[in-house]
Amino acid sequence: MNLQSGIQKIKKAFQVSADVPMKQYTRFKVGGPADLLALPENRQELLAILAAAKNASVPVTVVGGGSNLLVSDQGIRGLVVVTTHLASEIRSEKGPDSTILVCTDAGERLSAVCRYTVAHGLTGLEFCAGIPGTMGGAVMMNAGTASQGICKKIHCLDILDLDTLAVKTVTKQDLVFTYRRLELTNHLILGTVLALIPGDPETVKKSFDINMKHKQNTQPMNLPSAGCFFKNPDPESSAGKLIQDAGLKGAFCGDARVSEIHANYIVNCGSATCQEILALATRIQKTVFDRYGIMLETEVQVTGNRGEKNE
């Protein structure tokens, strides 16, 4: 079955939208159309549409909050599954070694989980203050700060194999995390369980508020972006400082601009395209390499097609 007939088949059988601009689903506000976009509300709906996509050989792209994504101007061929409606109540229960296990669906907002932990006086997630996106995306990206990632807090995950559609629970010991990445290909994270520690509610709130304020004061939170664009080359060296020292603050290509507040942020000042953002990113990489001999690697996940829609 070719892609177009597969797409028509899914369109007929499911409530999906066609030709949806991905800029509506990314924090960068950039990206061309997805052939099909689904927002499943529960695991049954999710599994049904994934099974149909598999039978029709339609490629699947998973999107959470879209806060670390740069989608090409040509969009995404096949089916985009957005997980943000896969979110039921946040639950907690007693775990091993005096921990409290906080259980969520993948589409739950990390900010909602942070608020839950503050309300329940649980310590461990304060460093996540202000990080946008879903729990699935946070785990996939090992979200965090320069000194820590969410991987340290994971107890177990429910994951779905996108080839076989089998669901299994994996514990922290089964998982390999690297800097800003969980090494897990072709899987969708369905649910996350974090192990946190009971703490003093006031101290937890104070620390959360301090981290939030620091983030708001040092990062451009009000303009569309995907957070830090490049990975830090090593724990001692910050990509933002290298970019700033290379004199690139304020550099631009069209509406894509290096933030004046934090040089590792590329912000969309209006109607930036993916092409403009990538051109600016290449200029940054070249300038930093020429000056310091360091090739910056992108942290932002660049996805989608580069050719025309019918190629």
Ligand X SMILES: Cc1cc2nc3c(=O)[nH]c(=O)nc-3n(C[C@H](O)[C@H](O)[C@H](O)COP(=O)(O)OP(=O)(O)OC[C@H]3O[C@@H](n4cnc5c(N)ncnc54)[C@H](O)[C@@H]3O)c2cc1C
Considering beta carbons, is residue 207 or 287 the nearer one to ligand X? Answer: 207
Q: Is 153 in the site for ligand X (CB under 6 A)?
A: no
Given a contact cutoff of 8 angstroms between Cβ atoms, the answer to whether 134 and 84 are in contact is yes
Binding mask 97-136 for ligand X (x = CB under 6 A): ---------x------------------------xxxx-x
Q: Please pick, from the candidates 6, 31, 40, 65, the single residue that binds ligand X as defined by CB under 6 A.
A: 65
Q: Is 75 in the site for ligand X (CB under 6 A)?
A: no
The candidate with the shortest Cα–Cα distance to 160, out of 64, 46, 61, 80, is 46
Q: How far apart are CA 274 and CA 189, in angstroms?
A: 27
Q: Please pick, from the candidates 189, 195, 246, 277, the single residue that binds ligand X as defined by CB under 6 A.
A: 189
The single residue listed with the structure tokens 């299994």 is 168
- Whether 299 is catalytic is yes
Q: Is 232 in the site for ligand X (CB under 6 A)?
A: no
Considering beta carbons, is residue 9 or 152 the nearer one to ligand X? Answer: 152
Q: Is 110 exposed, middle or buried (0-12, 13-18, 19+ CB in 10 A)?
A: buried
Choose, from 27, 77, 109, 180, the residue flagged as catalytic: 180
Q: Please pick, from the candidates 7, 56, 58, 69, the single residue that binds ligand X as defined by CB under 6 A.
A: 69
Q: Which two tokens stand for residue 81?
A: 């599954």
Considering beta carbons, is residue 10 or 188 the nearer one to ligand X? Answer: 188
Q: Please pick, from the candidates 56, 63, 80, 100, the single residue that binds ligand X as defined by CB under 6 A.
A: 63
Q: Is 225 in the site for ligand X (CB under 6 A)?
A: yes
- Whether 77 is catalytic is no
- Whether 228 is catalytic is yes
Q: How far apart are CA 267 and CA 253, in angstroms?
A: 11
Give the helix ranges, DSSP H, for 18-61: 43-55
Given a contact cutoff of 8 angstroms between Cβ atoms, the answer to whether 276 and 43 are in contact is no
What pairing do the DSSP bridges indicate for beta strands 69-71 and 301-303? parallel
Q: Which residues are catalytic?
A: 180, 228, 299
